[in-house]
Structure formats: C-alpha cells, structure tokens
Amino acid sequence: DDLVALGYLHEPAVLHSLRRRFLEAKAIYTYCGIILVAINPYEPLPIYEEEVIYAYSGRNMGDMDPHIFALAEEAYKQMVSSRPLIISGESGAGKTASAKYAMRYFTAVGGCLGDSSMEEKVLASSPVMEAFGNAKTTRNDNSSRFGRYIEIGFSQARVTGATIKTYLLEKSRVTFQAKAERNYHIFYQLCASATLPELRGLALSWLSAGHSHPSGLCDAGGQTSAGRGAWAVPHACAVPAGVPEADQLELFSVLAAILHLGNIVVRGRDRRSVPLQPADEALGLFCTLLGIEALQVTRWLCHRKLVTAGETYLKPLSRQQALDSRDALAKYMYGQVFRWMVSRVNRSLRSLEGHRTSIGILDIYGFEMFELNSFEQFCINYANEKLQQLFNLHVFKREQEEYVTEEIPWVFIDFCDNQPCIELIEGRLGILDLLNEECKMPQGSDGSWAQKLYQTHLGSSHFQKPKRPTDAFVVCHFASKVEYQCDGFVEKNRDAVPEELVGLLRASKSALLAELFLEEGDGPVSLQSRRSSGPRMAGRPSRRSLPSSQKSKKSISSQFKASLNRLMEMLGSTTPHYIRCIKPNDGKQPFVFDSRRAVEQLRACGVLETIRISASGYPSRWTYQEFLERYRALLSREELMGTDEKQICSLALERLLQDPSKYQCGKSKVFFRAGQVAYLEELWYRRLRAACTVLQRHLRGWLARRRFGRARAAAV
C-alpha cells in the first residue's frame, strides 16, 4: 500500500509495484509517504458510492486500502491545524475528478449547518466552473484551463460555505486553438441551444450556418455536438452560480457578442487596414447585442489615439494590428465574464455566519511540455517549480519531525534544490524581470527580449539557447528541459486592450456590461502596435505617447507572481496532503499502463524524489510490536525471555544485521536503511523453509516407519 515500505527503493521497483497494483488488483490508489498516487482508470469504478464514504469516515489512514477518501478524512479530522489537499498532474490525469470526489466527501461527512441547500451549491459550483473554464485539448476532453483553490468553511464540523480563488485563465484560447482542440465549453453549449425561443435573438443560428472566422472563436463544425451532456442548456450554468434570471439573457448576449466579434472581417494589405463597413453583418450583431454604436466600433478597431506633448491624433492601424485589436478585445471580454462568474459563485456560496475552520483543495495545473510552448506553459511550469520547492521542504520537515520525536540521530543529505531555477525566473534581472521591462518599451518586441535573455543568462546552468536560429530559450526545470518560443510573450504579458473600445462598452445601457467592466481596479489599456507606421510616427515615440493607464497597469506575469507568492505563503503555514494524478496512457484506454509515460510523470510530480529522499535515510519504520509479531521466528530463546520490547529488538538486530549503521532503535519504532527489511524477509523465509524441512523430515520418517510396521506385521 505504501511505496516507501518497499524492500528495495529504486525506480524499477516503484514502477513494477504500481503496474501490478493497477493491472492485476485494479487498485488505482497507492501511498508514497505523504503522497497519494492516483492513476486514472479511464472507466467508472464503484468505489465512490455513499457507503464507501461512510466506510472511511472516522477511520485512520492505514486501516483501509489507499483512497482519496482516506486522505480527505485525515484533512477533515485535522481541519483545526489546516491540512489542505494539493492535487496536481498532467492534463487528463484526473485532477478535476479528484477535486470533486474530495468536495463530495466533505459535504457528505460534514453535512450542512443551517442552510440545507449549501451542500448542493458547493457541489454544483464545479460544473459551472468547468463550463466557463474547461475546454477540449488533445490530451483531455475536459481540461481545466485555469488553476483554482477551493476553501470549504466549517463551523461545528459542519459545512457553512465555500470560496473559490482562480489563477491564470488561458484567455488566448478564446481566439486561437491548436489543431484538434476546442474553445471553452460554454460557447458550444450556447450554440447547441440556439433554437430555444429565448435565445433566438442572439443570432446563433447565423454562426451555425457556417459563418465562423478562422480565429476559431466558434468551431462551426462542432457546435451541435459539443456540450450535449448535463449542461447542453446554458441556463443550467447560470442558476447554481446565483445569476438572476433577468441577468441571464444579458450574460448570454455578451457571450454571443464575443462569438460575433470573431467574425468581423478586416480587409486590406498588411501595412494598412481598410475601414470596416457598417453593413458588416457580424459587426452589426456585435453592436446590437451590446447596445453600442457601430460607427464608433469601426473607428476604434482600425485606429489608435496617440497623445503627445501638444496634440492628439489618430494613427491608422495595419490589418494585423486591427486583427490583434479585435482579438485582444475578445480575450478581455471573456476574461471579465469569467471573473464575474467566479464572483457570482462565491457570492452564492458565502456564509452569513462565517466559519471557524476550513479545508482547502488546490486543483492546479501540472508540469506541461508540448511541441510548442508559449507564455501559458512558462507560467504553469513556474508555478510547479514553486510547488515543488514547497513539497521538498515539507518532505524534509516531515522526516525531521519523526526523527526528532523518536530521538534518532541522522544527518540530512543535500537534496535537489530548485532555488537556482526559481531565481532565474523571478529574481532580479530574471526572465520575468526582463520581460516586464520589455513590455514597458513602446517598441518592445519578442525578438529584442530574446536577445536580452541571451546576453544576461547564457552563463546560467539552468538556461540554454537552442541551436536552431529562432527566438527561443530553454529552461532546465526540476522535471525536464523545456524549450519556449518567444513569439507572443510580450503581447500576452501586456494583456493590452483597446482603451476606447472598453470605454464604449462601459457606456452601454446594459447594467451587466457596466458591472463587468468596472469591477476590476486597474483600468484597461491601449493596444500597443507591433510596427511603426504613419507619416507622423517617423521618430521613436516617447513614453508620453503611451496612455497613463498603461504605465500603471500590472503585467500578467506580475499579477500571477503576486498571487502565486500569496498562495505559497498560505500553503507554507500548513502541512498539506499531496495527491499526484498519473495518466497511464495517451490513448485514454481503460486499464492500459504505459511504463515510459508513467515514469515521466512520477519524476515530474516528485514521487521518485520522495523515494530518493526516503532511501537516503531510514525509509522502513516498524513499531516494536509489529517487528516482534513479524520476525518472532528469527529470535533466539534467550531473546524471547526478555520483557522489554525495545531491548529484545535491539539484541536481535545486533545479532541479525551486525552493522549498527543499518538500523536505529527509536523510542517506539525501529528504523531500517533501504534494503534491510528485504534482507530480514530473506532470513525469515529461510527460517520458515528450514522449519518446514524439519517438519517434513519428521512427518515423512513417521509415515515411512508406519508403512514399514504395517508391512512387517502383514508378513509375519
């Protein structure tokens, strides 16, 4: 049940044990010290029913088979000392499902205090978040494209409410999806409901007829087949989130407007765009749904306002800049909708009485490495570096606490510290520092930033420059080397949106739009052009030509770093439980185990590092009673005459192992170096075999003598 208790602690033994448990015993859960390894079976299993929940309720870890309910029960019993669950793994490994099972356990065992519907609200929040934050990828049909921390509040051991904090929504998916991937579920669910009478005014059938822009805002080929499950009708998403019925149609209008925005066509050559035609059907639908003027939208999609020392004038944008302006607005609008939905969900889960204790569930993205890696993968892997450092500290802290409690002398070895990699990313003149500086430059570009990276960090052991002549860089993470393409880093980090267009949305008569775009403290900013053009832009523009809001707005990486540091500070003050979800194969086939893929993930999520740390100390620990019950056959008659369990074990081990460095006797346990339990098992097996041989010898002799006696009696 626990990999740390294996006789031999090395990679092949761990992999063999997991493989046998998964394929032969159909056991998807295995302990590894403070980690619960969960392998995705890719088929429903009857191990999450209500009777299973109550079977684990009140039991100690180790009393029953490894299970996420066992870990949830430990967190529930120790909620006063704050024991959050940290769930991580690759996309498709089962993180979201594990988080839902944990939430279900807490609401079932804890029940609800006062508001009997709170349990249903907490459980119903997951499908809402999935509709707006999950999408189909090549690895997972229901991939979470954001991180979340769910804090479930308790009072008198009863559920009183919950709070959800989100991290780094992948907004770029709104305007672009890779081959065989899709946009967020809510768009397809909305299009699947296009024929409903109340939604006909959104003109979604116009999209279904094939009018879909190549940017991929709405995949016309998959609209009707997506989201036909429990959430095919988008009303089901809005009700649990506490969205009033009067606001639901406005919410759907904003989502439909984002789809129509992607179909607005910008014509012209690369250096100069052609003003949009007011007769453009997508433009008309976008403006009608949001209640704004088409002429103003046309103007600010194709121009940018520049303010210099003495005058203000309009600069025409190139076709590519106009397309970037359109896509930036779409991403900004969806980001605001997502934030608004999260705030609505939190409002519906808020408890009037408050809570005394809480249990947190962190459902965070795992380490990512694709063929093409961009800004999103960099931020995700940065978060995993921070979590891995926290994990290493907790493993050593747990080891040290037990050795101190048992009064065992042990010198800690050096472990694989990833602080140099973290310094490379977030330190002074690190990757993020240089990126933010580049974003402040009016003519900042990905290529210029890449050259600054090469000049500053080529001497670092964790930074490399690819051999290919492209703007890219390699970071040596704790899990693996990852090559990142610089293209898009500066634009995504700026997260700039057309200030004038956002001003139009704020001036809309829609109360929901006003709430959406006035909620965030930092104002939106003007989109920065990638190229300089126009007769009055011959020289390099000064910083004064940038809107003041852009100078003060924090970049995406700065916001993410600040929220990540707050999360690490909170987790660092607790002792978390870790759930590492493993994807057994890339084909999503039930109970098929790909050893190569499994070992890659075991390395990336720290399981093998835990094994290495344990192997460096005393990984096998037995209480004196357990040792005597197991190895009584190895004890001599004189040793069995003793009355003190510790003294008996000490004398026996001194005779059996002979080398005092191979074991240590603590106050209540005996600690063994790696491989010593396997040696004792071999001695135990030999002793039993020898005893069996003696028994067989005497039995066979007795049988032979009896046969001989009978034969002699018959002859005489």
Q: What is the pLDDT of residues 607-617, one digit of tens each?
A: 777 777 776 77
The residue assigned the tokens 């090395």 is: 10
User: 392-401, 435-444, 504-513, 514-523: which range is least confident on average?
Assistant: 514-523
Domain 383-486 in CATH 1.20.58.530: yes
Q: Give the residue-averaged pLDDT of 609-629.
A: 78
Res. 227: pLDDT tops 70: no
71 Cβ neighbours under 8 A, 6+ residues apart: 36, 61, 85, 102, 577, 579
Which two three-digit tokens encode residue 108?
Answer: 């079932």
The rounded distance, in Å, linking the Cα atoms of 119 and 237 is: 17
Q: Is the pLDDT of residue 536 over 60?
A: no
- Looking at the predicted structure, is the pLDDT value of residue 370 above 60? yes
Q: Which long-range contacts (CB under 8 A, 24 or more apart) does 196-205 make?
A: 196/233, 198/249, 199/252, 202/252, 202/253, 202/256, 202/289, 203/256, 203/260, 203/285, 204/256, 204/259
Distance set, CA 465 to CA 378, 451, 619 (Å): 16, 10, 40
Annotated binding site for ATP: 89-96
Helices (H), 617-674: 624-631, 637-640, 645-656
Domain 3-180+353-369+575-616, CATH homologous superfamily name and number: Kinesin motor domain (3.40.850.10)
143: helix, strand or coil: strand
Span(s) in the chain for CATH 1.20.58.530: 383-486
CA atoms within 13 A on the CB side of 403: 19
Please indicate, yes or no, whether the overall pTM of this predicted structure exceeds 0.95. Answer: no
**What's the rounded Cα separation, in Å, for the pair 314 and 192?**
41
pLDDT in tens, 311-352: 777 888 888 888 888 888 999 999 999 999 999 888 888 877
The region of weakest confidence among 45-59, 97-111, 468-482, 597-611 is: 597-611
Share of the chain above pLDDT 90, in %: 22
Tell me how far apart the alpha carbons of residues 89 and 602 are, in angstroms, rounded to a whole number.
9
- At 213 the pLDDT is 40
Positions marked active-site: 91-92, 96, 140, 143-144, 366, 368
Residue 208 pLDDT more than 60? Answer: no
d(CA 272, CA 339): 35
Distance CA(149)–CA(361), nearest Å, equals 6
Tokens at residue 76, please?
A: 């529930």
Whether residue 217 is predicted with pLDDT greater than 50 in this model: the reply is no
Distance CA 379, CA 561 (A): 9
Q: Which residues of the chain are in CATH 3.30.70.1590 domains?
A: 620-715
Most confident by average pLDDT, 7-11, 261-265, 401-405 = 261-265
Report the percent of the chain where pLDDT is more than 70: 84
Second-level CATH architecture of 620-715 = 2-Layer Sandwich (3.30)
Report helix, strand or coil for 161: strand
Both tokens of residue 374? 């961009």
What residue ranges of the chain are covered by domains with CATH 3.40.850.10? 3-180+353-369+575-616
Max CA distance (Å), the chain? 137
Q: First and final CA of the chain: distance in angstroms?
A: 63
pLDDT at position 218: 46
Q: Are 9 and 619 in contact (CB under 8 A)?
A: yes
Structure tokens at 120: 């249903």
